[in-house]
Amino acid sequence: MNPFKRNPFLFVILIALILQACGPTRDTVVVVRDAPQVEIRDREISEETVTEEFMQLNVGLIDPVTNLDPLFAQNLSTKRVLSLIYQGLVTLDRTGEPVPAIAREINISDNGLEYTFVLNRDLIYHDSPVFPAGIGRRVHAADVLWAFMRAAENDFPHDASKLLMGIRGFENYYLEQRMVHDPDLRVLRGISGINVVNAETVVVELLEEDPEFLKKLASPLLSIYPREAVLNSEEGLRNRPVGTGHYRLNRIENNGNIILSRVDREQNLQAANRSRINRIDFIMPEDETALFQQFASGSIDFIPEIGPELKQQVSDDQFNIQLAYRDIYQLVPHNSARSVSFFINDRSSVNHDWLKNRIALLTSEDIPISGEINLNNDQIELIEQVLPEDNYFLMFTDDYVARAAYGVLNNLIIQPESSLVFFDIRVPTRATSLYNTVNDSFSADWAGSEKEYWLRIDQKILSLYKRHVTGIEPTVVPWLFHIENVRIQNRD
């Protein structure tokens, strides 16, 4: 049966909502205390585990991963890690189409405005000290409401909340949370368009039909997690994530490397999606040079996304592996790209007329960075007889495409008269002249942009891996790590 179907019997849901209104308020969270089956421990090894060969995959990441709370996922590397720990209501297949995850069935009304999510209540959160006795509980429809309400709160970036703005009542709740700073003066206690019918059913009502709504829900930003993981832990989700994914956090090492262990709990493992990788080590070297050195030495098996330096070294213009590496490495081009947009900060107190003059003279051929170059500088007005500042400050960024582009621009059009300098702050201020935003090709259509960029670079995502790794397949979803078919063979 197709899990995404039109539901002609919406009056059943309406009756359920009316009955619910007569009972406890939606603010009440019922913690289900079923007796879940715990994860398989060393003392409780199944026959399959005994005969299974232990497989460890070492993954090299190009972005820093500093926070495992889904609402703080600011780069693709973080989203790749989160996609293994958590699940959302839906996920995406390799073609980018939504498929069930925590929701086992989704019914859509004829007018496309109401989505009824029936959850898979066999799913159990990872065991964690945030639960009584440290044993994870079953997922509950109230977890969905709570996670979405938390996305609107003032303490978090607005990236997740932007994906939910189409839900009836969400914008009102969001604005009150962000603009009424005294909690005692707030009047909204929930989101009118999200209704928990029972433990396994939640109904979401949209303001207008949105064909991309399910794809938005598949973002790692909208992962579902238990309230206890935030309320019962001083660390919160940052260093102690609790999800229903196929992997759980084992530890974060002093050097920042993240170790995940496979969850051997039958309720959370569908046979078709069961991974054979027991452990995943995410390694974050300082730069691309160190990343490739560790890859070449054998410390890293797989790089999900290589940067400009490695692209130039190992790939030709058609994204084929260079002849020198053909016998030892494999390269997989994905149908997705990292998209970096650059802006002139009009709020800057610095006179950057000279900088604008230099930018206006650029052509796409002047920028020697691999990828699709989109230059939108023909509207910049040239100002005659202006002198440069000694330095033009930039918003700080970790993004490797942005840093490479700034380096090129500095050498190409800024020096020797002036120079571009990173300011030690991650937001554009009155002292910064240029800043950038980072997105991906899959979600760029609904992410929106605050203004017109003057430069955008779309860099195709390429994965590099050793020949003893098999099962790496292309995808249009840049953050998804399809690990169920990955195998490690004869590493030694």
Tell me: the pLDDT tens digits for 219-257?
Answer: 999 999 999 999 998 888 999 999 999 999 999 999 999
Share of the chain above pLDDT 70, in %: 86
Report the chain's mean pLDDT, rounded to a whole number: 87
**131 bridge partner residues:** none
What's the confidence (pLDDT) of residue 490? 76
As a whole number of angstroms, the distance between CA 328 and CA 339 comes to 30
**Domain segments of the chain as ranges:** 4-24+72-231, 338-460
Contact 224, 143 (CB under 8 A): yes
CB 183 within 8 A of CB 228: no
pLDDT band at 266, cuts 50/70/90? low
Q: In the chain, helix, strand, coil percent, each to 5?
A: 25, 25, 50
CA dihedral (429, 431, 436, 437) in degrees, to 10, reads -10
Record the pTM: 0.86
The stretches of 74-212 forming alpha helices (DSSP H) are: 76-85, 141-151, 159-164, 170-179
Q: Per-residue pLDDT tens for 83-115?
A: 999 999 999 998 999 999 999 999 999 999 999
Residue that has been written with the tokens 């840093």 in this structure = 403
> What gap in Å lies between CA 357 and CA 381, rounded to an integer?
8
Has residue 370 got a pLDDT over 70? yes
Comparing CA positions, the residue from 104, 340, 92, 131 lying closest to residue 222 is 92
User: CA 56, CA 51: separation in Å to the nearest integer?
Assistant: 16
Asked if the model's pLDDT at residue 346 lies above 50, the reply is yes
What single-letter amino acid sits at 381? E
Mean pLDDT of 152-163: 94
pLDDT band at 35 (very low <50, low <70, confident <90, very high): very low
State the alpha helices, DSSP H only, in 22-169.
Answer: 47-51, 76-85, 141-151, 159-164
Q: Are 318 and 482 in contact (CB under 8 A)?
A: no
Q: How many CB atoms lie within 10 A of CB 136?
A: 26
What's the CA gap between 10 and 110, in Å, rounded?
9
Q: What is the pLDDT of residue 4?
A: 54
Q: Is the pLDDT of residue 309 over 80?
A: yes
Residue 162 has pLDDT above 50, yes or no: yes
pLDDT band at 399 (very low <50, low <70, confident <90, very high): very high
Cα Rg of the chain, angstroms: 24
Residue 450: per-residue pLDDT? 56
Architecture of the structural domain at 4-24+72-231:
Alpha-Beta Complex (3.90)
Q: Whose structure tokens read 């070449």? A: 296
Burial of 140 (0-12, 13-18, 19+ CB in 10 A): buried
Q: Are 243 and 136 in contact (CB under 8 A)?
A: no
